[in-house]
């Protein structure tokens, strides 16, 4: 008989006794014991189908029953605790102060849309579709006047203008403010330019194309004359408070070297957080857009603004492309606005929530 191994056992080795009369009884005892062990092993192997008696080509033996019967596990195998399946797209809730972003593809041409578009001789306005305009006539408040019933602005700009002028009239008791210029289409600007090429912007280059720009002046009842608000106390109130309603003074005299114009009372809606920062830091639109593009990119530091409406905002810039699509990170758990700058880039403005109230510390 040949030696063989079995699972879980050391190899069985036969013992051959030597012919010595003094050790015969011991040898005989050992031999009998070994034969018994071998017989037991052979019997077990025949039952389990292992080793020399491996079940080859025959019906397999039924598996042993375990305490985990019915759960699809092998006998003796540890089982993992059951857990709820993960739902695709679900994420752990973020702390209130954190913003979650998800990339969204936008058309590169959308850089010409929004409250922060730059329009000048180097950045031609393309009059994108989908822009809604309304006449001031029929939508304005009673706190100011208009020079023509055909003057138009974007609806949100009219709402902000009404709110500002209502507060302006209540605080100054001045009700002789008048809007004398507003939206201009390409043909209107073309006619003005042909009549006065040295004083009017070329068609496509006027800030009035935005639908967010207007001229605000004063008028005289008896003569119908128009005058500037520059040297009047009422004008001071507007200079100090316009940003609280989202307005900037588009062409201040001290920025003429940058903008190319000095038109103190041409106003432009850009949104409250942007107007607040520009006012507090003495920036014109060109300077502000350059600052965002150079310093406040998505991958780096974001600009935080505590605005005049009592809200805190986070602002960053995304570099765009001349054509094709642009991937822009947009918040999934906060309100936001998106504006192009008409230079290929985009500005994302996220509403974080109310401006935190400083905590008072007690005296030591």
Closest CA to 135 of 146, 144, 143: 146
User: Over 90: is that where the pLDDT of 221 sits?
Assistant: no
Confidence of residue 129 (pLDDT cuts 50, 70, 90): confident
160 vs 71: CA distance, rounded Å: 66
State yes or no: pLDDT of 204 exceeds 60.
yes
Q: How confident is the model at residue 15 (pLDDT cuts 50, 70, 90)?
A: very low
- Give SS3 for 253: helix
Q: Give the residue extent of every domain in the chain.
A: 1-52, 100-116+283-359, 124-269
183 vs 70, residue with greater confidence: 183
- pLDDT (average), residues 100-108: 95
The domains spanning 100-116+283-359 and 124-269 adopt the same CATH topology: no
Question: For the domain bounded by 100-116+283-359, which CATH number is listed?
Answer: 3.30.200.180
**What DSSP line would sit under 223-251, residue for residue?**
T--EE-STTSHHHHHHHHHGGGGTEEEEE
Q: Which of the residue ranges 19-23, 172-176, 185-189 would you say has the lowest mean pLDDT?
A: 19-23
The confidence score (pLDDT) of residue 76 equals 39
User: Across residues 84-100, what is the average pLDDT?
Assistant: 52
Question: For the whole model, what pTM was predicted?
Answer: 0.73
Question: For residue 60, what pLDDT is reported?
Answer: 40
Predicted pLDDT of residue 37: 59
Main-chain dihedrals φ then ψ at residue 249, nearest 5 degrees: -95, 110
On the question of pLDDT at 199 being above 70, the answer is yes
Banded pLDDT at 29 (limits 50, 70, 90): low
Indicate the average pLDDT of the chain.
81
Instruction: Determine the pLDDT at residue 96.
Output: 52
State phi, psi for 29 to the nearest 5 degrees.
-65, -45
Selection from 246, 243, 249, 250 nearest residue 206 by Cα: 250
Percent of the chain with pLDDT over 90: 65
Handedness of CA 229, 232, 235, 236 (dihedral sign): positive
Q: Is the pLDDT of residue 34 over 70?
A: no
Please tell me the predicted confidence (pLDDT) of residue 145: 96
**The pLDDT value given to residue 40:** 53
Architecture of the domain made up of 124-269: 2-Layer Sandwich (3.30)
**Predicted confidence (pLDDT) at residue 125 exceeds the cutoff of 80:** yes
Residue 362 reports pLDDT greater than 60? no
């Amino acid at each position: 008989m040949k030696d063989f191994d079995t699972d879980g056992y050391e190899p069985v080795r036969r013992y051959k006794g030597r012919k010595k009369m003094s050790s015969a009884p011991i040898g005989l005892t050992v031999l009998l014991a070994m034969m018994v062990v071998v017989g037991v092993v052979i019997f077990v192997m025949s039952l389990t189908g292992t080793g020399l008696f491996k079940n080859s080509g025959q019906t397999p033996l039924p598996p042993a029953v375990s305490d985990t019967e019915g759960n699809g596990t092998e006998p003796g195998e540890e089982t993992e605790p059951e857990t709820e399946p993960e739902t695709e797209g679900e994420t752990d809730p973020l702390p209130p102060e954190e913003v979650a972003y998800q990339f969204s593809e936008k058309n590169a041409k959308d850089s010409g849309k929004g409250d922060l578009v730059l329009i000048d001789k180097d950045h031609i306005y393309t009059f994108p579709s989908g822009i809604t305009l309304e006449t001031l006539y029929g939508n304005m408040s009673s706190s100011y006047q208009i020079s023509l019933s055909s003057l138009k602005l974007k609806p949100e700009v009219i709402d902000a203008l009404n709110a500002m002028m209502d507060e302006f009239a209540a605080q100054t008791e001045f009700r002789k403010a008048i809007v004398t210029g507003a939206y201009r289409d390409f043909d209107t600007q073309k006619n003005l330019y042909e009549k006065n090429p040295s004083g009017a912007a070329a068609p496509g280059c006027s800030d009035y194309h935005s639908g967010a720009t207007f001229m605000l002046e004063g008028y005289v009842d008896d003569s119908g004359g128009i005058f500037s608000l520059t040297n009047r106390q009422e004008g001071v109130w507007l200079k100090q408070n316009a940003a609280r309603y989202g307005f900037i003074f588009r062409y201040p005299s001290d920025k003429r070297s940058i903008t190319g114009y000095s038109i103190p009372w041409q106003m432009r809606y850009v949104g409250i957080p942007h107007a607040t920062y520009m006012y507090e830091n003495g920036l014109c639109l060109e300077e502000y857009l350059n600052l965002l593009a150079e310093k406040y990119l998505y991958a780096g530091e974001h600009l935080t603004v505590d605005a005049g409406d009592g809200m805190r905002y986070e602002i960053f810039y995304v570099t765009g492309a001349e054509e094709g699509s642009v991937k822009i990170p947009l918040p999934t758990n906060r309100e936001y606005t998106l504006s192009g700058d008409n230079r290929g880039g985009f500005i994302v403005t996220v509403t974080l929530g109310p401006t935190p109230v400083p905590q008072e510390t007690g005296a030591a």
